[in-house]
Structure 1
Amino acid sequence: MKNWFITGISSGLGKALAESVIEKGDFVIGTFRNKSQVEDFNTKHKAKAHSILLDITNEKNIETCVSQLISQFGKIDVLVNNAGIGFVGAVEETSIKEVKDVFDANFFGTLKITQTVLPFMRKVKSGHIVQISSHGGIKAFAGFGIYNASKFAVEGFSEALAQEVAPLGIKVSIVEPGPFRTKFASNGLGLATIEIDDYSETAGAFRTKLKGVDGKQEGDPIKASKAIIDLVYSKNPTLRLPLGKVALMTIRMKLDSVKSDLEMHKETAENVVYG
């Protein structure tokens, strides 16, 4: 039986994953930001799971929380950094305060939890870190630039981390979902306070489109959860796991675009070296 530490299990993919892991018979340690949700969850699941109150933007709380969990449950076999926020707005429309809020939740919180859990995984020479990114962590979209930047950052450090910890028996996987039928496009979505008319056909159109797909997304969170569990239990888990037809399409578009640029500038690139 594995102990899973999953952040952000109040709704969406985090909730579905927690339920699927419990159904499998593994033990879930999940986080909420609401005390009553913690109490309700612990009453409902008792010996099958445990939840705690945690704000992932609070570094000291993270350190205290992880130490207590190790003391109480002995180990964390799987860390799933799921908690985060969405944000829509053109780059120029977004204030630095709004950018910092997005990065505190999506990047710094994920980074700090990863850093705090790693010493315990290194000690036992095993563990699996699963970072919930997005297809938007590979390809950027007009109106989604700040969110994209936060997920690009998660992908960047996680790709390097995977190479650093592989010799230590620790695995890292990055999950890249497309649109899933969660509350991401409604309750989980922040909007830039400022709207500039010149961006109405780009960022503005994206904002409208995202609101319009709420509740109609193609992705099934339960099926995605089972795919993540299968990945964790596989012999050789891959670094990346795209989820959904839209994710496959957009990631392929990005790869094709990069390949096209490489081919177009191949001669130029080769000619700027000595000799």
Structure 2
Amino acid sequence: MKNDKIIENKVWFVTGASKGFGLSLVKQLLAAGHKVAATSRYVSSLVKAVGDISDNFLPLYVNLADEKSVAEAIQITVGTFDKIDVVINNAGYGIGGSVEELTDEEARESFDINVFGTLNVIREVMPFMRERKSGHIINISSIAGIAPGTGWALYAATKFAVIGLSEVLADDVKSMGIKVTVVAPGAFRTNFLTGDSLVMTKKPIHDYQEVRDSHTRYLQMDGHQAGDPEKAAAAMISLADDDNPPVHLLLGEDAYTRAMTKLGVLEKEFRLNEELSKSMAYQG
């Protein structure tokens, strides 16, 4: 992703900006002179966390599950800064529990933010990017969307969805000069494992002891994750100045290791059943 060109100041639209990756991104972007529209459900907390109030910073309240709210935020951003060069769909939260332990309401709320929120932003920003024949959409997934762990089925499902839609979107918009990257981070030292960003099943079932053990291991990582969120933010920002950015980007040694292990498992399983897979054609 190395690029020796002079970095052009751009207009960025960042969701989930009041904490974690989003906050690191906003601070670094503003420090570099970029214009940033930053969204949050809690604008006062966002403004306080960013601290750098300037004409380049546009804090916006957005309910990502409400397409009208998203559309209004996109319109305000374009009206203020004339364009949007880069979108980072960062907002999301974790949800822990087996499929049986989580309600339909909990599952739908998770998809509303982690998947449909991303879709709403993409749907609303695309007309402006198509008109300019340029833009870059960066969707934040998770290594859980590639190699999920025990007890995180619905979270993994939302992140699998983000990866799948990003892969196809990249093909759909390539001819229009628009780029798409899906980022799959591992464990970074953000507040992701706190109550602000993580929902756990309220009705644990005794038989799922492996799920409880998995959750305990993950929660014990809080504050000790190996990944530096400032480095992750810098890596994501650098994507916007890459003439040929990747469609997939793993962030974190743990993410790389888990992804490569999953590739090996898939290859082994596919090859094990190769003969059966190829035997489905009509005979004669």
User: Could you state the TM-score of these two structures normalised by the residue count of structure 1?
Assistant: 0.96
Aligned-residue identity in percent: 38
Q: Aligned runs of 1:189-200 on 2, under 5 Å?
A: 189-200=198-209
Q: CA offset at residue 231 of structure 1?
A: 1.8
Moved over 4 A (4+): none
Q: What are the equivalent positions in structure 2 for 1:234-245 lying under 5 Å apart?
A: 234-245=242-253
Q: Map 1:48-67; keep pairs closer than 5 Å.
A: 48-67=56-75
- Give the AA of the match of 2:13: F
Aligned mate of 1:219, from 196, 212, 227? 227
Does the Cα contact within 8 Å between 1:42 and 1:51 map onto a contact in 2? Answer: no
Post-superposition Cα deviations, 1:45-103, rounded to whole Å, max 9, x if no partner, equal 21232211111112211111111211221100000000011111111111111101100
Contact 2:18–2:49 (CA under 8 A) maintained in structure 1: no
Q: What CA distance in whole angstroms lies between the structure 1 residues aligned with 2:23 and 2:163? A: 22
**Structure 1 stretches of 5 or more lacking a match?**
none
Deviation at 1:124?
A: 0.4
Residue 85 of structure 1, aligned match among 73, 80, 93? 93
Task: Write the distance in 1 (CA, Å) between the matches of 2:14 and 2:254.
Answer: 25
Aligned length: 274
Rounded to whole Å, the distance in 2 between the matches of 1:39 and 1:185 is 23
Mapped partners of 1:274, 1:15: distance in 2: 56
Shift of 1:40: 3.7
Quote the residue 1:28 is aligned against: 36
Which residue of structure 2 aligns with residue 140 of structure 1? 148
Which residue number corresponds to residue 84 of structure 2? Answer: 76
Q: Which has the higher helix share?
A: 1
Q: Answer whether contact 1:93 1:192 (CA < 8 A) is retained.
A: yes
Q: In structure 2, list runs of 5 or more residues that go unmatched.
A: 1-8
Aligned partners of 2:90 and 2:279: how far apart in 1? 44
Q: CA RMSD in A?
A: 1.3
Q: Secondary structure at the match of 2:179?
A: strand
Residue of structure 2 equivalent to 1:182: 190
Query: Aligned pair in 2 of structure 1 residues 231, 44: CA closer, same or farther (>3 Å)?
Result: closer
The one of 122, 134, 140 aligned to 1:114: 122
Q: Secondary structure at the match of 1:57?
A: coil
Q: TM-score, normalised by structure 2?
A: 0.93
Partner of 2:261, secondary structure, is: helix
Cα deviation for residue 19 of structure 1 reads 1.2
Counterpart Cα distance in 2 of 1:227 and 1:251: 19
